Amino acid sequence: MEWVMLELIRNPTVLEKVQREVREALGKTETMLVSEEKMTTSTMSYFQMVIKETLWLHPPGPLLLPRENREKCQEMGYEVPAKMTVMVNAWVIGRDSKYWEDPEEFKSERFDKLPA
């Protein structure tokens, strides 16, 4: 949640859209408490996109679990010997400009058309 709050503070227009969507989805309440049922039945699609973008920019586990290959192989011009432990850096993958447009920018609409 800290990263979501940071990105909302950095992006005031995104914050306004999230606030508007939450207010519309949850309605007015006399207290600040909202039932779990109301939270889970509301779609809040824009807020979900903000959360996805935040997790993409700030992955909770930037290094994926180590894997060991079974046999020798070639990968991107490198020879990987058998039984080699390999770690995948998810943080770097998310910032590769060959695959992502403006990878360093917070773009909540980036995941608009992708399935959940």
Per-residue pLDDT tens over the stretch 42-92 = 778 898 899 999 999 999 988 999 999 999 999 889 999 999 999 999 999
Domain coverage including residue 32: 1-58
Task: Clarify whether residues 52 and 70 are in a common domain.
Answer: no
Threshold 0.85, pTM exceeds: no
Look at residues 58, 50, 61 and name the one whose alpha carbon lies nearest to residue 111: 50
Task: Clarify whether residues 54 and 73 are in a common domain.
Answer: no
- What pLDDT, on the 0 to 100 scale, is given for residue 102? 93
- Our count of domains for the chain comes to 2
